[in-house]
A and B are shown apart, each in its own frame.
Chain A
Amino acid sequence: MGIKWDEFFITGDPLILGSQIAILLTMIGAVAGITYLKKWKYLWTEWLTTVDHKKIGIMYIISAVLMFFRGGMDGLLMKAQTSRPEMEFLNSQHYNEIFTTHGVIMILFMAMPFLIGLMNVVIPLQIGARDVAFPQLNALSFWLFFSGAMLFNISFVIGGSPDAGWTSYFPLAGKEFSPGIGNNYYAVALQIAGIGTLMTGINFIVTILKMRTKGMTLMKMPMFTWTTFVTSILIVAAFPIFTVALALMTFDRLYGTHFFTVSGGGMDMLWANLFWLWGHPEVYIVALPAFGIFSEVIATFSRKSLFGYKSMVFSILGIALLSMVVWVHHFYTMGSGPAVNSFFSITTMAIAIPTGVKMFNWLFTMRKGRIKITSAMLWALAFVPCFVIGGVTGVMLAMGAADYQYHNTLFLVAHFHYVLIPGVVFAVFAGLYYWWPKMFGFMLNEKLGKWHFWLFVIGFNVTFMPMFFLGLNGAVRRAYTYSAESGFAPLFMLSAIGSIVLAAGFAVFCYNIYWSIRYADRNISSDPWDARTLEWSTASPVQFYNFAKLPEVKSLDPFWHMKKKNEGLTLHDSEIEEIHMPSNSWLPIYMGVIFGIAGFFLVFEWHIAAAVAGIGIFAGLIIRSFDYNEGFHVSKEEIHRIENAWRKTEGEVHDHVS
């Protein structure tokens, strides 16, 4: 197989050597720590083999926070490199690798799992179900995502990172122009993670259609459930396109086919076309659940039900539909001609209409509400103006003719960070502060939360606002340096300073998690925000079977009405029945590991080894086919004991209703 061992580990760069040592030490430290604390068994039975949607959600969120750290480091490195003209901190190759991994990690391994994690924790609770429709598949989704993410992340120390941008356009990404193995990581790791995401989409569609509790019609679903539902449909619509495109890319790179190459009859633009057929819906896949989170947070802290519920639902559906027919706006300049460019300009601008409707709905929800300024609410408030800046610059970019000016400049980079950071990052922070007590039974510190908020939001604006002007002045994206004569230096410097403030905000966030785990008050009610939806009607942290008695829904904001009318809050002994729950399984994590190994061999083009590992994948599938484990039953006594523990005083939950 001709393995070049000397090229296996990346050597010769002090930054990377430092990371290699750090990774090694962290791994040794983790293994030693777990062994010392005798936590292996706990880890295995409570987390690694779990099929509980809440724990899976938490694992998604932990991974996402780690990935945010990694992607954020990449961002800081880039900002450091461009802080002065002609800096010699990163060379051009290193810069290429870093913006590529930054883009991929932030979107696919930070934004997606963060939102999917919150969906996992919250959705079954919001619809009054005991788990998702396919719990074990859900665990498999997580482990495939995790496997893909880890495979992608080791690229910078083993074998070399992909360096053709997060879009990996051909011909650059092809074997001809990128002969190293770096871009194989892109093709293989994203494929593995993508399978996981696709299964999540299917799982949540079925869950939301089939598992809603009695009385919860589609038009009585909470807004986060609605957005998750539509996002899942978009996942099922769009991800297969990416799967196919990546498979073709893999064939081109590994087996010498010519789907996208310039020579041999391939068509390089076909890649761009397929990529964005997936890529544009993808940005709505991450934006829609975020909109759902803001809807929940704004309604709760304005203490009113969401304004214009129906128009909200229809605008989500409208956005989803339109998002499938706008993809060409990412490559107007490839020259598809005036008819194509005009069509896609119009569809793109049309998206502003339903989005505008949502904006006004949020504003009207707040109007005359008794607004409580909590950390979660602050993120939602900051989202509105920041996202509008992102949206308005989006409409500017949408115009095909004008895009010839903006295309590939930092104006675009500023635009999509103004959409993705308020639209996704603010949302997951809001969601985390909001649902944290539900997940763990204590709150994040509000004071630190406000420090986190202000540093992050100010830092974000100072980082990315200058980029709009740099872009209009002609600074191109993906360029590792610029000359002093360009006059770009002051704005680049300002932007770099902003990124330090932003990083300080993130540091406070991490410190807040640490502080709250150590010191936060454990003695809080199960409904600390006086919220409106069903997840708050059960214990915090939620008992593994979610609801002793499945709630019955009569209106929107069901829990709010249950509290007002004092209905359905108590549990009589006679109502307790045995509960059927799914068993843990080692198969999902096994599949994650074996997919990771097979993928790793494939990246290095060790085909025989990959085929052998592939047998392991089939073995897993076969074992699963003959797996007749029907789960277990929770006895009445146990339910009784668990319910008594948190329902100490009857109706404690409606403390705060006014």
Chain B
Amino acid sequence: MEHHQSKSFPISHVIGFVVSLVLTFAAAGIALKTNLSFKVIMWIIGSLAVIQAGMQLFMFMHLREGEHGKTNLINMIYAVFMVIVIVVGSIWVLTSGHASH
């Protein structure tokens, strides 16, 4: 059962962690400390979120260790489905009809 992986220093995890922090604080800074319009802020922090999600996929989720092609494909389809349901679905539900007023 046991097979130990190589115990080299997890450098990509550390970089991923730091970059995540930077992107998060950047988003917070833009939202709290700038005078941009609401719309612009939403677009910028939304984009930062997407960038961060993509980055984490590569840094943390072993996406590059391509032995399990089929598994990865299923996981990606699943993730895209969940994002569409949760994010797009929520935005649609919360902004249509008189819920938005």
Contact = CB atoms under 8 A, between A and B. Distances in A.
Interface of A: 237, 241, 267, 269-270, 273-274, 277, 324-325, 328, 334-341, 580, 630
A241 B82 CA distance: 10
A337 B2 contact: no
Given A324-B85, A325-B85, A630-B2, A336 B97 contact: yes
Contacts of A334: 99
Given A273-B93, A630-B2, A337 B98 contact: yes
Contacts of B1: 580
A169 to B, nearest CB: 14
A230 B93 CA distance: 27
B85 A340 contact: no
A338 B97 contact: yes
Given A325-B85, A580-B1, A340 B96 contact: yes
B92 interface: yes
A269 B99 contact: yes
B86 A277 contact: yes
Contacts of B92: 340
A274 B2 CA distance: 40
Contacts of B78: 237
Given A270-B94, A337-B96, 11 more contacts: A273-B93, A273-B94, A335-B98, A336-B93, A337-B98, A338-B97, A339-B97, A340-B93, A340-B96, A580-B1, A630-B2
A324 B78 CA distance: 12
A498 B55 CA distance: 58
Contacts of A274: 90
Contacts of A237: 78, 82
3 closest A-B pairs (Cβ-Cβ)?
Answer: A337-B97, A336-B97, A335-B98
Contact of B97 (A270, A277, A340): A340
A588 B54 CA distance: 34
A241 B90 CA distance: 12
A339 B99 contact: no
22 contacts: A237-B78, A237-B82, A267-B94, A270-B94, A273-B90, A273-B93, A273-B94, A277-B85, A277-B86, A277-B89, A324-B81, A325-B89, A328-B93, A334-B99, A335-B98, A336-B93, A336-B94, A336-B99, A337-B97, A339-B97, A340-B92, A630-B2
A173 to B, nearest CB: 18
Contacts of A277: 85-86, 89-90
A340 B94 CA distance: 10
A335 B100 CA distance: 9
